[in-house]
Amino acid sequence: MSIIGICGYARAGKDTLAAYFVSKGYEKRCFADGVRQVARADLHWRMLVDTYGYEDAKDKHPYVRQKLVEIGQSAREVCPDIWIRLVFGDPVPEQFKDIGGRGAISGPTVISDVRNANEADRIRAAGGKIIMIVRRGVGPANDTEAETIAKVVPDIILENNGTIDELWAAAAAI
Partners of 54 in the β-ladder? none
- For 63, counting Cβ atoms within 10 Å of its Cβ (0-12 exposed, 13-18 middle, 19+ buried), the class is middle
The model's pTM is 0.88
Spacing of C-alpha 168 from chain mean position: 19
Q: What is the pLDDT of residues 96-139, one digit of tens each?
A: 988 877 788 989 999 999 999 999 999 999 999 999 999 999 98
Domains within the chain, CATH numbers bracketed? 3-172 (3.40.50.300)
d(CA 107, CA 112): 16
The pLDDT of residue 1: 55
Summarised one tens digit per residue, pLDDT across range 34-56 is 999 999 999 999 999 999 999 89
- The arithmetic mean of pLDDT across residues 68-76, rounded, is 92
